[in-house]
Amino acid sequence: MTIKPAYFMLSLSLLVQSSNLGVLAQIPGIPLPGSQPPVYGSYSAGQNLGQNGSQAGAQGTNGGSQVLSGRVKHDIMPAEKLLSQGKYAEAEGAFRDALVNNPADMQATLGLGVALAKQFKLDGAEDLFDRVLATDPNNAVAYAGKATVLLNRLQSSSGSVRSQRDSYLAQAESLANRAVQLSPAAAEAHYALGCVYKEQGKMDQAASEFRNAVNFDPQHSYAYSSLGQCKLDQGSLVEAAQNFQQAIALNSGNSSAHFGLGSTLLKQGNVDDAIKELNISLYQFPNSWPTRMMLGQAYQTQGNSVAALKEYQLSTLIKPENAEPYIRMADIRQERGDLELALADLRNGLTQIPYNLDLRMRIADITLKLEKPDDAIKNYKTILSMSPNNAQAVKGLSQALYQKAQKAAVGALLASNDYDAALKTLDEAIKLNANDMELQLAKTKLMSLSGNKPDLASMAQPTNDGERIAYAEALMAAGEFLKAQDMIKGVLADQNDAKQTYAVADIALMVKDLDNAEAAYKKGMSLAGSQERGQAGLNKVSQARTTSADDTRVANELSKKNQWDGAISKYRSAISTNPSLAEAHLGLARALEKSKNPNSQTLLEAVQQYGYYLNLRTDMPSKDREKMTKDADKLKEKALKLKEKESRKR
């Protein structure tokens, strides 16, 4: 009598209890639950995995091995059929009935173990595999089952389980290797070992084991889909697609294969077909977080941000400790100009994964864009406490400190510990990244706050857009506003993609280069970028211009009334919003010079502001320019004499 192949399939899904939303969670690298790979592979007529599963191992001890053999018992065939159909609860009942009739039936015991594991009743499944091994210590199938149970445990969101990840994987590898040693020709043993290697990131070894599995069992759909996933991770898209298609041809209910094929098609740019395959996978198993995640990416690629957000949110409900969907939701919010909403998404993720540096960095960067320097400084410091000398955090911290100095009195910042600590951190980071021009420029910009004019002439010219932006910021710190604008204008001219153009626009807005920010937002809209995103940026530019003009007008009125302190405050506010506003620099210079009992530092700042005004007024008549330059030089001499006098008094 010939029996059609039946698959013993062990679930790789986590049944979260009703208090945890009653959904299934899944870890990367393990095939999608709902159509899980057969941990025990297929067995054909003549294989009795329960009673004779140790024959190969027993003979292997004597220097030989053989394929498992025996005769399938007719009384458990209905249970096996239910198991292969995915009716796990019914299969469990059928196997239990068989064991009531014959408690010593090892094949029924193994089948019940699979059915329990498929429902993620892992403790019960493991007990049954242990029971088999107590009777038959060389049962390869039981070892493969125990290895897969350990892999399944890693899907838990429990911190204690995740902290033992390496230990679990080491145990699983040992068990799977034992299964292979006992039954070298068993596809399911090689498959289990491949899954362990894949979870360990050993893609070449995993692919080799999956190939062994399909060589020993050409009908092993799940080994094909796992091999396809390895190829996808390695960037071999054509091979990946072929393996996924073969897996689907063998078993159209293999949701892992549909997921993998959808992911491959998305990487190949075939978005519509990718969405079709991903939806098939979701139909077969709706609660897979990777599929929700990938479908969100597909919708985002299409420009359907509403659908993308929905899928990302569903992904976080299933697997809340995965950082990627939070970051992608924040990307969509930022593209719309909703920075506060982006920040909220990232903070939601941080409550689940407090040690994730990517989330913390994005939060810090967004608070900087929102012009919340104190929050940004705090966030960057936290990152540096977790990752000392992190170059990106060091650059961000210097930017936040500079932003804070623009909003408040520079003297207060220079007197604080933050300034000295930031310079020290920059020095340490530069030692480790000697060729990082952006770090050098960040230090130069920060030092300009203490009156040290950046010597940019001694630096090499920037070679990429990141360096050009940093160079432009240093130029602005030196008061070379027009040169800085030209540098950013060059970066903008290189952009032909709406998303990148909007990114340049955001940077220009953050450093208060309003002219280039306006031009960049308009260019982004002309490149078929989000009109809503572009208009939101233009509104911010317009608001900044209005605010700086209003502050300057109020400051002028206060100056007329000789209310110098109030005027100085308003002029500073205007300049922090629009550093290229020449009138505000001139007004601040005069207010500082005429303020009550100015000290040397105040007068030197006035000289500096006169210089900034002259840099901005390129259309100024030469006669007027010469007069102002001479007056500024005289004021500088006065300030230096006063400084010398002040030092003698100390």
CA-atom Rg of the chain in angstroms: 34
Instruction: Give the 3-state secondary structure of residue 219.
Output: coil
pLDDT attached to residue 563: 96
Provide the phi-psi class of 15: left if phi over 0, else alpha when psi is between -120 and 50, else beta.
Answer: beta
For 526-558, the pLDDT digits (tens) are: 998 889 889 999 999 999 999 999 999 999 999
Provide the percentage of residues in the chain whose pLDDT is more than 90. Answer: 60
Q: Does domain 356-435 have CATH number 1.25.40.10?
A: yes
**CA distances from residue 434 to 201, 438, 440, 457, 624 in whole angstroms, order as listed:** 32, 10, 9, 18, 45
pLDDT attached to residue 330: 96
The confidence band for 266, taking pLDDT boundaries of 50, 70 and 90, is: very high
pLDDT at 205 over 60: yes
DSSP string computed for 319-335: -TT-SHHHHHHHHHHHH
pLDDT at 344 over 70: yes
Helices 305-318 and 324-336: angle between axes, nearest 10 degrees: 150
pLDDT attached to residue 89: 87
- The least confident of 83-87, 358-362, 516-520, 602-606 is 83-87
What is the mean predicted confidence (pLDDT) over 294-323?
95
Token pair, residue 144, equals 């493969």
Quote the CA–CA distance of 590 and 624 in Å, as a whole number.
16
For 109-166, the pLDDT digits (tens) are: 999 998 888 788 899 999 999 999 999 999 998 999 899 899 888 877 677 787 888 9
Residue 337, CB half-sphere, CA atoms under 13 Å: how many?
18
pTM here?
A: 0.71
Quote the CA–CA distance of 264 and 89 in Å, as a whole number.
34
What is the mean predicted confidence (pLDDT) over 264-286?
95
DSSP string computed for 501-520: HHHHHHHHHHTT-HHHHHHH
Burial 76-89 (b: 16+ CB within 10 A, else e): beebbebbbebbbe
pLDDT at 231 over 90: yes
Q: Is the dihedral of CA 454, 455, 460, 462 positive or negative?
A: positive
The confidence band for 45, taking pLDDT boundaries of 50, 70 and 90, is: very low
The confidence band for 2, taking pLDDT boundaries of 50, 70 and 90, is: very low
pLDDT attached to residue 51: 35
First to last CA, the chain: 107
Quote the CA–CA distance of 295 and 307 in Å, as a whole number.
9
Token pair, residue 522, equals 């308009």
* Pairing outcome for strands 6-7 and 24-25: unpaired
pLDDT attached to residue 161: 80
Do 356-435 and 545-649 share a fold?
yes
Kindly state the DSSP code that residue 15 receives in the 8-state scheme.
Answer: E
Looking up tokens 């020290």 gives 424
Three-class DSSP labels, 125-141 = HHHHHHHHHHHCCCCHH
Phi first, then psi: what are they for 591, rounded to 5°? -65, -40
The confidence band for 412, taking pLDDT boundaries of 50, 70 and 90, is: low
Quote the CA–CA distance of 320 and 313 in Å, as a whole number.
9
Which residue from 415, 370, 420, 382 is spatially nearest to 398, judged by alpha carbons?
420
Token pair, residue 269, equals 């740019």
Kindly state the DSSP code that residue 461 receives in the 8-state scheme.
Answer: P
One-letter amino acid for residue 173 of the chain = E
Which residue from 249, 274, 247 is spatially nearest to 263, judged by alpha carbons?
274
Token pair, residue 83, equals 């198991």
Quote the CA–CA distance of 36 and 23 in Å, as a whole number.
16
pLDDT at 237 over 80: yes
The confidence band for 210, taking pLDDT boundaries of 50, 70 and 90, is: very high
The confidence band for 262, taking pLDDT boundaries of 50, 70 and 90, is: very high
The confidence band for 39, taking pLDDT boundaries of 50, 70 and 90, is: very low
Phi first, then psi: what are they for 7, rounded to 5°? -105, 125
**Contact indicator for 130, 102 with CB cutoff of 8 Å:** no
pLDDT at 575 over 50: yes
**Contact indicator for 580, 617 with CB cutoff of 8 Å:** no
| Cross-strand pairs, 43 | 6
pLDDT attached to residue 86: 58
| Alpha helices by DSSP H, 433-513 | 437-447, 465-477, 481-493, 498-510
Please name the CATH architecture into which domain 545-649 falls: Alpha Horseshoe (1.25)
Residue 407, CB half-sphere, CA atoms under 13 Å: how many?
13
| Cross-strand pairs, 6 | 43
Token pair, residue 10, equals 């062990």
Q: Where along the chain do its domains lie?
A: 356-435, 545-649
**Contact indicator for 345, 326 with CB cutoff of 8 Å:** yes
The confidence band for 80, taking pLDDT boundaries of 50, 70 and 90, is: confident
pLDDT at 518 over 80: yes
Kindly state the DSSP code that residue 460 receives in the 8-state scheme.
Answer: P
pLDDT attached to residue 88: 78
pLDDT at 50 over 60: no
Supply angle C-alpha 8, 282, 225, rounded to 5.
50
**Contact indicator for 253, 284 with CB cutoff of 8 Å:** yes
